[in-house]
Amino acid sequence: MDQTYTPREAGAAAKATTARPDVTVFFDQRTFSAQYVVADPATGKCAIIDPVLDFDEKSGSTSTENADRLLAFVAGNGLELEWILDTHPHADHFSAASYLKEKTGRPIAIGERVIEVQKLWKTIYNWPEFKADGSQWDRLFADGDTFTIGSLPARVMFSPGHTLASITYVIGDAAFVHDTLFMPDSGTARCDFPGGSAERLWKSIQDILSLPDETRIFVGHDYQPGGREPRFESTVAEQKASNTHMSKCETEADFVAVREARDRTLPMPKLILHALQVNMNAGQLPAPETNGKRYLKFPLNALEGASWG
């Protein structure tokens, strides 16, 4: 069941400035994913970050419930959508980017290194005709690129490690770090996907933790350790002080050893082979075949050495 949460202070209009977005998170309990509406309180312009297209792998059913809730929130609060943003090609849920573009006409964007992910995975899927040039998106962001949401300044940080293409959106005083960091009690992202690297992740996290201490950090997932309520917001200062990995690993070598040991115990996400063929195509489902049905392609033994869960 989906739930909606508004992080602390997000609705504090008295504190809002043009550099402090209002952030509302929509939690998809099925995939433990955080979807964000990031709004400029001065202009009412907003962006959607990491929207989920619902998929049930048991029945093969898809739904737009999550995405429609985002659109209803935008409309119900008198906001104007400017951007539909993904932080990376997700391995645990389908992206609703293309669905939202179809509904709104607004541009979709992702990091430019998605092309590397496309080239890697088109080989895994034996999909020679697939266009691995990023043309499925309206904009491909490079490291250091800037844009605006209303009057809010936004910039892009290249944050590889979890994937080849991961980026962080820094929007005003908020950083949307996808799976690079989790909440402090959950540590950091896994790096054992094709193209992942613990060394790269360490460097990406150092860049994020070099932001001002008061920067709000918004994560891409929360797995509710110990059964606690979902949480999505921390700060750079909190991450440096108490992140279960970063506060204990003083060197890159320490971190790589901890991260790689942990990754060896983790089974692959249950939807990774379902999701990548959709998400490297900007969330577009496969075209219908002659009978009008859509089909996913599922390679066997493609991820050699993966732990069985």
**Percent of the chain at pLDDT above 70?**
94
- Residue 301 CA to residue 309 CA, distance in Å, equals 15
Kindly state the tokens that stand for 107.
Answer: 């541009």
Where are the strands (E) in the chain, listed by range?
Answer: 2-5, 22-28, 33-39, 45-49, 52-56, 61-63, 80-85, 94-95, 108-111, 139-141, 146-149, 152-158, 167-171, 174-176, 216-218, 233-235
Residue 2 has pLDDT above 50, yes or no: no
pLDDT > 90 fraction of the chain, expressed in percent and rounded: 92
Question: Per-residue pLDDT tens for 7-58?
Answer: 444 333 333 334 899 999 999 999 999 999 999 999 999 999 999 999 999 9
What are the two backbone dihedrals, phi and then psi, of residue 30, each rounded to the nearest 5 degrees?
-60, -40
* Number of C-beta neighbours around residue 306 at 10 A: 15
CA pair distance 184, 54, nearest whole angstrom: 28
Contact of 150 with 40, CB cutoff 8 Å? yes
Total H helices, total E strands in the chain: 7, 16
Quote the CA–CA distance of 152 and 19 in Å, as a whole number. Answer: 6
Q: Tokens in use for 134?
A: 């990023």
Q: What is the mean pLDDT of residues 75-84?
A: 98
What confidence score (pLDDT) does residue 308 get? 84
pLDDT number for residue 305: 84
Torsions phi, psi of 305, nearest 5? 85, 0
Max distance between CA atoms of the chain, in angstroms, equals: 58
pLDDT at 1: 41
pLDDT at 304: 85
Place of tokens 């108490």: 242
**DSSP state for residue 230 in the 8-state scheme:** P
Nearest-angstrom CA–CA distance, 227 and 87 = 27
Q: State pLDDT tens for residues 116-175.
A: 999 999 999 999 999 999 999 999 999 999 999 999 999 999 999 999 999 999 999 999
**Residues whose CB falls within 8 Å of the CB of residue 173, separated by 6 or more in sequence, listed in order:** 19, 20, 21, 212, 214, 215, 216
The per-residue pLDDT for range 243-271, each reduced to its tens digit, is 999 999 999 999 999 999 999 999 999 99
- pLDDT of 306 reads 85
Distance CA 309, CA 220 (A): 22
- Are the C-beta atoms of residues 188 and 181 closer than 8 Å to each other? yes
Q: Read off the tokens for 277.
A: 């063929």
Give CA angle at 154 (150, 156), nearest 5°. 150
Which pLDDT belongs to residue 4?
Answer: 53
Please answer whether residues 258 and 246 qualify as being in contact, where contact means their C-beta atoms are separated by less than 8 angstroms.
no
CA quadruple 264, 270, 274, 276: dihedral sign? negative
Domains for the chain: give ranges and CATH numbers.
2-279 (3.60.15.10)
**What integer best gives the mean pLDDT of the chain?**
93
Strands 139-141 and 108-111: parallel
pLDDT given at position 10: 39
